[in-house]
């Protein structure tokens, strides 16, 4: 059964369907490892897990909700605001069970956490972020500039990012060296209390040190 037909079938499970959440491993594009948990913020309701991997919420009051995902061991936690829960029994609803685009479905991509089991051929950047005093810095956002790829540091200030030169826009490989927009990739780090800083993945000559299919380790300290 295709994902599209599975999605359509969700719309016909019950008129009490309010919201279905689909978790996706952003590295593989498939179902996530382990068992991440999904909940609705400030709502005491448990989702039903269906065989296709959807977390289905029934009988929610219609309106805007916030979906919170506990990524478990392998993924960064996520919090998605402005998600619409609907009442399919309301004649005024715009949901059409035959049209997947109108169904109350939310797709959430999960970013790998440091313990994630990457294959040995992955292009990976691992590191630790420190504050100006040298202490590890949790909950900092780390991204590769001009590439749609970001993550957050864990309680130990550690992060992991992957880069796919085939799928990631602006990324290319030149003699094994990964470049973004033709130059060495740049890591951007931001934190709500400390602002932003950056680190270029380059050697003293300005050449990219990020190699395709290899691990690069980078420690970053706020000035």
- Sorted by where each begins, the domain ranges of the chain are 3-110, 124-221
In 93-223, beta strands by DSSP E: 105-110, 124-130, 141-144, 150-152, 158-162, 171-174, 177-180, 186-191, 195-200, 215-221
The count of other CB atoms within 10 Å of the CB of residue 110 is 22
Q: What is the pLDDT of residue 13?
A: 44
Under a CB-based contact definition with an 8 Å cutoff, are residues 143 and 160 in contact?
no
Which tokens in the block code for residue 124?
């990976």
Superfamily of domain 3-110: Carboxypeptidase-like, regulatory domain (2.60.40.1120)
Instruction: Return the HEC string of 110-129.
Output: ECECCCCCCCCCCCEEEEEE
Which tokens in the block code for residue 186?
């740049």
Q: What is the pLDDT of residue 100?
A: 57
CATH entry, 124-221, from 3.90.550.10, 3.30.450.20, 2.60.40.1120, 3.40.630.10: 2.60.40.1120
Q: What is the pLDDT of residue 183?
A: 95
- Cα pseudo-dihedral 143, 207, 130, 222, rounded to 10: -90
Q: What is the pLDDT of residue 1?
A: 31
Domains 3-110 and 124-221 share a fold: yes
| Residues of the chain with confidence (pLDDT) below 50 | 1-15
> Dihedrals φ, ψ of 146, to 5°?
70, 15
């Amino acid at each position: 059964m295709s994902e599209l037909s599975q999605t359509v079938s969700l719309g016909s499970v019950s008129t009490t369907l309010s919201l279905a959440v689909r978790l996706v491993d952003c590295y593989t594009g498939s179902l996530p490892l382990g068992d991440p948990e999904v909940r609705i913020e400030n709502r005491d309701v448990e989702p039903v897990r269906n065989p296709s991997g959807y977390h289905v919420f029934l009988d929610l009051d219609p309106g805007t909700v916030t979906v919170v995902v506990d990524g478990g061991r392998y993924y960064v936690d996520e919090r998605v605001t402005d998600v619409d829960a609907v009442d399919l029994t309301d004649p005024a609803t715009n949901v059409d069970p035959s049209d997947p685009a109108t169904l109350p479905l939310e797709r959430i991509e999960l970013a790998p956490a440091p313990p994630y089991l990457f294959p040995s051929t992955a292009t990976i950047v691992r590191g630790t972020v420190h504050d100006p005093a040298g202490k590890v810095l949790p909950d900092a956002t780390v991204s590769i500039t001009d590439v749609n790829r970001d993550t957050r540091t864990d309680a130990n200030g550690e992060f992991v990012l992957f880069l796919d030169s085939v799928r990631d826009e602006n990324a290319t490989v030149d003699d094994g060296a990964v470049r973004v927009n033709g130059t060495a990739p740049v890591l951007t780090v931001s934190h709500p209390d400390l602002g932003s800083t950056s680190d270029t993945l380059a050697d003293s000559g300005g050449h990219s040190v990020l190699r395709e299919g290899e691990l690069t380790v980078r420690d970053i300290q706020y000035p």
